[in-house]
Amino acid sequence: VVQTLPIFCVWNPFIRLYRSCDTTNQRVQFDVEPCGKHLATGGQDGMVHIYDLQGGQWVTGFQAAADTVNGFSFHPYLPLATTSSGHRRFGMQDEFEEESSLADDEKCCSVWKFSCSQEA
């Protein structure tokens, strides 16, 4: 039995989701739920944003952290999802100071109960 995997071209996307991450150079990751109906991603506002992949519309969101949510992942079999948060921030450096100072707010990993929608 030969399995074929769907391949999506990023040069000609079906749906474009626009998000502003203009104050960070940090990667903000996303995941598609196992049922394939929704895409979830983190944001600089500490929110997890969930979009409908059928129409590309924002569906809902929830506050997951006080800092940037840089990772989101659905569990492939269980009704769980995980988020990672934290953002590395460098303080303003005095021109005579040779070492940079590092200020960090929150760094954590959280597990959430999250069920897949089976509706068509």
Residue 99 in any domain: the answer is no
Number of H helices, E strands in the chain: 0, 9
Is 28:68 a contact under the CB 8 Å cutoff? yes
Task: Give the model's pLDDT for residue 62.
Answer: 92
- The pTM score is 0.65
Task: Give the model's pLDDT for residue 109.
Answer: 85
The CATH number of whichever domain residue 66 belongs to comes to 2.40.10
Residue 95 in any domain: the answer is no
Mean of the pLDDT values across residues 38-49? 89
Total tally of structural domains belonging to the chain: 1
Residue 8 in any domain: the answer is no
Is 80:113 a contact under the CB 8 Å cutoff? yes
Give me Rg for the CA atoms of the chain. Answer: 18
Residue 98 in any domain: the answer is no
Q: Has residue 110 got a pLDDT over 80?
A: yes
What percentage of the chain exceeds 70 in pLDDT?
58
